[in-house]
Structure 1
Amino acid sequence: MPKQVDHEARRIQIAEALMRLASRGGLEAVSLRDVAAEAGVSMGAVQHYFKSKDEMLTFAMNHVNNRAEQRIVGQLTSMPTRPEARVVMRTLMLEMLALSDDSRMEYLTHVAFFLRALASPEMAELYRQQWPQLEAWVAGELRFAQESGELPADRNPEREAEALLLIPDGLSVGLLLGQRTSEEAIRSIDYHLDRLFGTYTVD
């Protein structure tokens, strides 16, 4: 009998090979042949599942986002009660930090996608669609926190959502360049969350 192939698993296998290559040396010099060798499949298999590098990178980006979302949801749903907004924001921001091997690879995949999007209107449009969706979700969580009294009423949920999502991005650059340690990056996130939720105190 012919061997059954899990097509989605094969697409993920190829996309993760692209992610590893992009995280090691950027995307521009990576060929489909390189991806095939890294994934341990034939060139024909890569071309069967993806018609171009851009299509492959778009799939990889969606895969990265899905993996991160699953980790965040898994952490939050494992808590016995609905977590406070500060806990939700901290969980999200720590997942966005380039702390582990996986998160570093995912962050560098985002960087590769961004650089590619500068020259590709189609990919730029996808980037413009995804980021506002995340901002809107964070702003919604912050509005709920205001209604429940957890977040001070004078905070602007939309502007605070923008700021919170930019913080892990900037800290990740410092982590990757060795300018700060993981502990320093986490302390910085806690400081900003304390400021936002009005719980910061001077030691």
Structure 2
Amino acid sequence: MARGRGRDHDVVRQAIIDAAGTAVEQGGLESLTFRRVAAAADVSPGRVQHYFTDRARLVQACFDAVQDRARSRVEATLAKVEPSPAEVVAAILRTMIPRSPEDFRDLRVVTMFETLALTEPALGRALLEGHAELRMLLVDQVALVLRSSGSALEAAGITSSEMISDGLLATAGGLASEVLHGHLGADEAHRVLDAALACGLGKSTTDDTEAGHDA
């Protein structure tokens, strides 16, 4: 654990990153200025620039923090499920659909960053790398499902784990967007995802999350 000056450095840096995320969520990307972030973090604009020499570095740090929280949610979810490939796939995809206030906050911020990534190459690469990491994890697990005995998909001649993973990722991402914009409640979206998983994996999976969490 960092002590003294090092600990203060980490605390201030994290406060700035948190303030940047809040600024983006509440006011959009145009609110991500050193002056506004400094005010929210209760530091001087010069202090923000000390840690992040330009806006691009602050954007990247904020995005990385959101991605780290997403990975932590996936890891925490996987620790609670049966170690079967189908349940692992289902658990990963369910974390994409927001339930808690923090889930919604992070998804709003990521959605704005996805737009910015169209014109910011470094951020675009980070998004692609994160997606590729998630996709590869799913592809590996779906391949295990396809190789399992009695797989209805294999019997039907559907053997591309990449194609199935891409379809499930697109479904979960679309449902997440529907929930974010209020077109679907979280519980309803999870039921739709479970139906897609049953079709996509040829196996039934059950979401044990308690009902009553619709946003």
Aligned to 2:5: 4
* Counterpart code for 1:175: V
* Counterpart code for 1:75: T
* Counterpart code for 1:128: L
Aligned to 1:168: 172
How many Å separate the matches in 1 of 2:46 and 2:123? 24
Q: CA deviation at 1:72?
A: 1.8
Change in 2 beyond 3 A, CA 1:12/1:161: farther
The one of 34, 55, 63 aligned to 1:61: 63
How many Å separate the matches in 2 of 1:111 and 1:178? 15
Aligned to 2:32: 30
Aligned to 2:122: 122
SS of 2:119's partner is: coil
How many Å separate the matches in 1 of 2:127 and 2:74? 21
* Counterpart code for 2:168: L
RMSD: 2.2
Q: CA deviation at 1:60?
A: 1.7
How many Å separate the matches in 2 of 1:146 and 1:13? 45
- TM-score by length of structure 2 reads 0.81
1:52-88, CA deviations, whole angstroms, 9 ceiling, x for partnerless residues?
2221121122221211212221232345xx5222221
Aligned to 1:71: 73
Change in 2 beyond 3 A, CA 1:189/1:118: same
- Show structure 2 runs of 5+ residues with no match: 205-215
Aligned to 2:181: 177
How many Å separate the matches in 2 of 1:127 and 1:170? 17
Change in 2 beyond 3 A, CA 1:9/1:16: same
CA contact 1:12–1:63 (8 Å) conserved in 2: no
Q: Work out whether 1:193 is the aligned partner of 2:197.
A: yes
CA contact 2:142–2:201 (8 Å) conserved in 1: no
* Counterpart code for 1:15: I
Aligned to 1:84: 84
- Show structure 1 runs of 5+ residues with no match: none
Q: CA deviation at 1:3?
A: 5.0
Aligned residue pairs, count? 197
